[in-house]
Amino acid sequence: MQYALSPTQFESYRDNGYLFPLDVFTADEVAAIESELEQARADARRLGLDIEIGKLLRSNVQLLLPLVYRLARSPRLLDPVASILGPNLLLWSAEFFIKPANTDKIVSWHQDLTYWGLGETDEEITAWLALSDVNVESGCMRFVPGSHRQRILPHRDTFDQRNLLSRGQEVAVDIDENDAVDVILRPGQLSLHHGRIFHASGPNRSEHDRVGLVFRFLTPAVRQQVASRDYAIQVRGLDASGNWIHLAPPSANFEPEYLRLRQQVERDQSAALAAGAAQELTTAS
Ligand SMILES: O=C(O)CCC(=O)C(=O)O
């Protein structure tokens, strides 16, 4: 693999539960991605779709935009993931985490795997791609090093409207903010994180939108344990597990059959995501 992690990077991920920054896309490539996203927004408007935050782009965008599959398969993004998870890789979901300039949107301290129905697996990784400057002022993520070695701990729902998470869930332990590391990224850089790492992010006090495109990769050995079925797009290697319904990537933005398919996927996944929640959920993570 041309862009495999070095042994030092691999050990750093294993010990800390995260790794950043990885240089993945150049400034020109980021500009090309941004103009494709602008086109996608125009397409959404033309089709009368609601593209507001928390809606269309907030969940399962791998079923809406061909761009997402292309980026997910790019060796510079996927080789580092394969260095950790091995050669057989599924894209389970992709989401935009957008915090508009000067807004109070936050993400509370949580562990990703809590409500996904995928168990406590080590075989899931998030690749978080910065499409803007991401720093303390604009509300970058923060990680607690080594916290991925914990089990999934109890979380409580806050349903805070400022929270970008579906239930406003937060891990029910006191986090010492002094232990946390700021995940500062330039546009085109990537961070990787483990599904049990404690992480959060603060409000965007800057004058520009903070934009992250987030890919959730799994090995085929991971299983959906709460919902009756689950779906993935194969991005590398083979899957003989029978654990996943394989989907083909879309070939155009917002294809009607994919909009329907995404609704079906989210109905099925909500059995895991909403388990035990006291309110209906509007987003998928
Ligand atoms: O983008 C953020 O601020 C939080 C993202 C997050 O929680 C995640 O990718 O798991």
pLDDT in tens, 219-243: 999 999 999 999 999 999 999 999 9
- Which helix (H) or strand (E) segment holds residue 140: the answer is none
Instruction: State which ligand 1 atom lies nearest to the alpha carbon of 97.
Output: 1
Contact criterion met (CB below 8 Å) for 144 and 104: no
Q: What is the mean predicted confidence (pLDDT) over 10-36? A: 98
| Two structure tokens written together for 67 | 């761009």
Q: Which of 134, 115, 96 is nearest to 210 (CA)?
A: 134
pTM of the model: 0.95
What's the CA gap between 18 and 22, in Å, rounded? Answer: 11
240 CA distance to ligand 1 centroid (A)? 30
The residues near 100 (Cβ < 8 Å, ≥ 6 apart) are 53, 204, 209
Instruction: Give the pLDDT score at 168.
Output: 82
Residue 260: count of CB within 10 angstroms of its CB:
11
212 lines ligand 1 (CB under 6 A): yes
Residue linked to tokens 């070695």:
149
Label residue 277 by pLDDT band (50, 70, 90).
low
Q: Which helix (H) or strand (E) holds 68?
A: helix 66-73
| Top-confidence residue, 260 or 52 | 260
- Could you tell me if the CB of 96 is within 6 A of ligand 1? no
Looking at residue 51, its pLDDT comes to: 66
Average pLDDT over residues 122-135: 98
Q: What is the pLDDT of residue 43?
A: 92
CA of residue 106 to ligand 1 center, whole Å: 9
Q: Rounded to the nearest whole angstrom, what is the distance from the C-alpha of residue 183 to the centroid of ligand 1?
A: 11
How many CB atoms within 10 Å of residue 36?
16
Amino acid identity, position 144: V
Nearest Cα to 201, choosing from 122, 282, 109?
A: 109
pLDDT for position 53: 47
Judge whether residue 54 has pLDDT over 60. no
The conformation of residue 2, written as its DSSP 8-state character, comes to T
pLDDT mean across residues, the chain: 93
Enter the DSSP assignment of 6.
P
Give the pLDDT of residue 269: 93
